[in-house]
Amino acid sequence: MNVLSLFDGMSCGQIALDKLGIKVDKYFASEIKKSAIEVTQHNYPNTIQLGDVTKIKAKDLPKIDLLIGGSPCQDFSRANKERNGVDGEKSSLFFEYTRLLKECNPTYFLLENVIMSDYNYWFICNELNCEPVRLCGSLVSGALRDRLYWTNIPPFSYDLTGRLISQIQQPKDTLITLQSILDSGYTDKRKHTSLNTNTGSISEKYSTNKYLKNRNETTGMLTIIYDNKNFLWNDNIRTINQNEMEKLHNIPKGYTSIVNQKKAGDLIGDGWTVDIVKHIFKGLKK
């Protein structure tokens, strides 16, 4: 199988394929972030890096069997006040995905993105002639990551107009809690609920009880790890560490070890919940 992964990040799709034992002949990755490329090549040195997605042409590649990618979500995200959607500077890279989908004509495709407005949702559905499945990472991990996946990986059906509708079932709830993945300490939350995974990378300058308490009270989205079961605020509270960030999203231990915690948080925050993608990829084996 030849795979082309657009917006590859640190190659979470490759981890999922690896976990399933699906043989990959050539894995082509389009990524421009230096730290993401470094992490990918450290773990999967045979990855063929292609760089800028806008420069990739299907004619320069062999037959692609699987096209995957999560185009930039910033202009779709509910955390963005402007939400320019497909017209936004970053999220408009979605059109590079559709361009290469047409040029490569892969056997299978997968596009991931965040929960978005109805307008952008149906725009993408119309462009891909496909309705997605909505899967939340909380079923297979200790974190909340609710996402949409447009794909023709089985099972699927068609509506009366011929539009493909994904019929992938929800994965079995593994009942993993945030507490179960902690190296130490206690949490008052069942799942990690921060807006970004990168809560473990707060600079030392701001890692104080006062700062964390203020951020928790004003955003409501900070996940605090306490050193006592009574969840008391003291000088020993913390946010999740790098090892825990990996475990949160089913990433192999030490996968991001060649970068510091801040960079690891950025990469994992931009990445996929591996076991959700693994669940989708099971349809490839069938």
Checking if the pLDDT of 246 tops 60, the result is yes
Per DSSP, the chain holds a count of helices (H) and strands (E) of: 9, 10
Sheet with 2-6, edge to edge strand ranges: 48-49, 26-30, 2-6, 66-69, 108-114, 146-151, 133-136
d(CA 169, CA 148): 13
Are 268 and 198 in contact by the 8 Å Cβ rule? The answer is: yes
CA angle 134, 108, 17 (to 5 degrees): 75
Structural domain includes residue 186: no
Structural domain includes residue 278: yes
Structural domain includes residue 225: no
Structural domain includes residue 121: yes
Average pLDDT value for residue range 68-85:
62
**pLDDT per residue over 149-208, tens digit each?**
999 999 999 999 999 999 999 999 999 999 999 999 999 999 997 654 544 444 444 456
**pLDDT per residue over 104-134, tens digit each?**
999 999 999 988 888 889 999 999 999 999 9
pTM flag (> 0.95): no
Mean pLDDT is lowest, of 26-30, 41-45, 212-216, for: 212-216
CATH of the domain at 121: 3.40.50.150
Task: List the domain range (segments joined by +) for residue 74.
Answer: 2-172+267-285
Structural domain includes residue 234: no
Structural domain includes residue 148: yes
- Count structural domains, the chain: 1
Are 77 and 112 in contact by the 8 Å Cβ rule? The answer is: no
Checking if the pLDDT of 23 tops 70, the result is yes
Structural domain includes residue 118: yes
What's the pLDDT band for 214 if we cut at 50, 70, 90?
A: confident
CA angle 124, 2, 162 (to 5 degrees): 35
Structural domain includes residue 6: yes
Tokens of 9: 């990040």
